[in-house]
A = this chain, B = another copy of it.
Amino acid sequence: MCGVVGVYCENEDLTSTLTYYSLYSLQHRGQESSGIAMYSDGIKIHKGMGLVTEVLRDVVPKMKGKVAIGHVRYSTTGESKLENAQPILVRSKVGEIAICHNGNLVNYYQLREVLENEGRVFATTSDTEIIAQLLSNFLMKYDIYESLQILTGKLLGSYTITVLINDTLIAYRDPLGFRPLCIGEIDSGYVIASESCALDSLEIERVFDVKPGEAVIVEDGDVEFFRVAKAKRCARCVFEYIYFARPDSTIDGVSVYRARFNMGKNLARESSINCDIVSPIPDSGTTCAIGYAMESKIPYSEVLIKNRYVGRTFIMPEQKLREISVRLKMNVVRENVEGKRITLVDDSIVRGTTSRKIVEMVGRFAKEVHLRVGSPPIVSPCYFGIDMSTREELIASDKSVEEIRRILSVNSLAYLSLKGLIKAVGIKDLCLACLTGIYPVCVPGEICDNYKYDVRY
């Protein structure tokens, strides 16, 4: 759960601004830390804990140069502290290397141990530093093309990266293509970002997906697309479509909005129930609920209103107040609920704790509450960068739909089928591990189907 950006722009005054606003549009991918690295007579880095506007607003207008990379972070591996904020910079024989990484390495500990046995040291606990150290090592003996291929042979897991090797910009998407990456051309250069919404915000019209296994290399203003490796099959994260990406983005040719809308439609086809009102659990369930309402022909309405000004709260003194935290984020429109049969639609259920509180809030006034979920039950953890790390946390990992219905105390509960989901997204090369428990790369202790995803160079 991170966002990455890479920019090459001949106009030295514009580069940092383009990077800043790209990150600004990717803020939903990570709110913990923000950072930017720019080359201009050496690589300069500014990063800190907090939002893009908080961390970078004052420094960006002063940064001048032609190439930059940027990052927003929500931690998965590595503790939540400044030293793990990105970009990560290492200095080596081949110069300075700065890296921004979206993804998660499955073989982090093994790679680190090998490097440690060589006597190497690490400044962070982040898997991104491993990538930086390996890359710098390969570059001592090989050119960029070979180095990326050797690197790909070593890394197991998901890694969409933007890299500065001194003043050379590289953007690379791993061969399974877990995380998205796209590129757009501007008058005097290129902007590369995790999602197309970032390029839209800059009014860049022609936007392409970077293909899985493909690297974009920008050197002295010349761009080159290099196919580092090719997997037999890709493993595009289905959860980007379900929840994580912004609905106005298009990933690998598929509109996220359309996918969610279709999830709602298919859900209605599979398990609609007669009701007075269909309402989303905001904000994530909205598009799905619109699709569901249209297909089921049940009136769409808003039953829950979000407080748009949510900030950090503090520990509350009394037991009773401790319970109100969901109420501060969301409130019921009683008018729309009282005495009515309500179908609530959400995109997914991970832990189920928030869902339970919301349902309770609505259930107090409603005649019936039905819950419909735009994706199948999440039964297995993600090792590729989405924050659902242990089986224990997942309500569906060891409970039947009926058991979950009882815990959430709704009148009925239905999930979208896996088939319905795949049809909604409309492409096949998806990573569905969290829904099926079958993983596209070897993860110790899990069932892997990795031969299907074999990578060739």
Q: Which residues of A contact B (CB under 8 A)?
A: 11, 13-14, 17, 21, 24-25, 27-28, 31, 51-54, 57, 60-61, 89-93, 97, 116-125, 132-133, 136-137, 140, 197, 200-203, 246-248, 250, 255, 257-258, 261, 283, 286-287, 290, 293-294, 299-302, 305, 307-309, 311-318, 320-321, 323-324, 327-328, 331-336
Contact = CB atoms under 8 A, between A and B. Distances in A.
A293 to B, nearest CB: 8
B90 A119 contact: no
A268 to B, nearest CB: 14
Contact of A25 (B91, B299, B307): B307
Given A31-B309, A125-B91, A302-B247, A17 B317 contact: yes
A18 B387 CA distance: 33
Contact of A314 (B13, B60, B331): B60
A91 B248 contact: no
List the 6 closest A-B pairs by CB distance, nearest first: A53-B311, A123-B123, A90-B121, A27-B309, A255-B335, A248-B305
B328 A25 contact: yes
A140 B91 CA distance: 23
Given A91-B125, A302-B290, A305-B247, A331 B201 contact: yes
A140 B140 CA distance: 25
Contact of A324 (B21, B89, B334): B21
B27 A307 contact: yes
A286 B280 CA distance: 13
Nearest to A58: B314
A408 B333 CA distance: 33
A228 to B, nearest CB: 21
A201 B324 contact: yes
Contact of A333 (B118, B122, B247, B334): B247
Contacts of A25: 307, 328, 331
